Amino acid sequence: MTDQEIIFKTQQFVQETLKDAEGGHDWFHILRVWNNAKLIAKSEEVTLFIVELGALLHDIADAKFHDGDETVGPKIARAFLESLHVNKETVLHVERIITNISYKGGNFKQTFTSPELDVIQDADRLDAIGAIGIARCFNYGGFKNRAIYNPAIEPKLNMTKEEYKKSMAPTINHFYEKLLKLKDKMNTVAGKKIAEERHLYMEGFLEQFYGEWNGEL
Average pLDDT over residues 30-46: 97
At 159, the amino acid letter reads M
Query: What per-residue confidence (pLDDT) applies to 22?
Result: 86
**Closest to 74 (Cα-Cα) out of 95, 103, 100, 55:** 95
Average pLDDT over residues 38-54: 98
Entry field: residues in the chain: 217
**How far, rounded to the nearest angstrom, does the alpha carbon of residue 112 sit from its chain's CA centroid?**
17
Looking at every residue in the chain, the average pLDDT score rounds to: 92
Condensed to tens digits (0 to 9), the pLDDT of residues 108-137 reads 577 899 999 999 999 999 999 999 999 999
pLDDT band at 107 (very low <50, low <70, confident <90, very high): low
125 CB-contact burial (10 Å; exposed 0-12 / middle 13-18 / buried 19+):
buried
Q: Reply yes or no on whether the pLDDT at 205 is more than 70.
A: yes
Contacts of 45 (CB under 8 A, 6+ apart): 115
Query: What per-residue confidence (pLDDT) applies to 108?
Result: 58
Query: What per-residue confidence (pLDDT) applies to 158?
Result: 81
**Residue 108 DSSP label:** P
Phi-psi bin for 97: left (phi > 0), alpha (psi -120 to 50), beta? alpha
Condensed to tens digits (0 to 9), the pLDDT of residues 144-196 reads 999 999 999 999 888 777 777 678 899 999 999 999 999 999 999 999 999 99
Query: What per-residue confidence (pLDDT) applies to 27?
Result: 96
Q: Reply yes or no on whether the pLDDT at 9 is more than 70.
A: yes
Record the pTM.
0.91
Query: What per-residue confidence (pLDDT) applies to 104?
Result: 63
Number of other CB atoms surrounding residue 174 within 10 Å: 21
> Alpha-carbon distance 108 to 121, whole Å?
14
**Percentage of the chain exceeding pLDDT 70:** 94
Half-sphere exposure of 65 (CA within 13 A, CB side): 15
Q: Reply yes or no on whether the pLDDT at 11 is more than 80.
A: yes
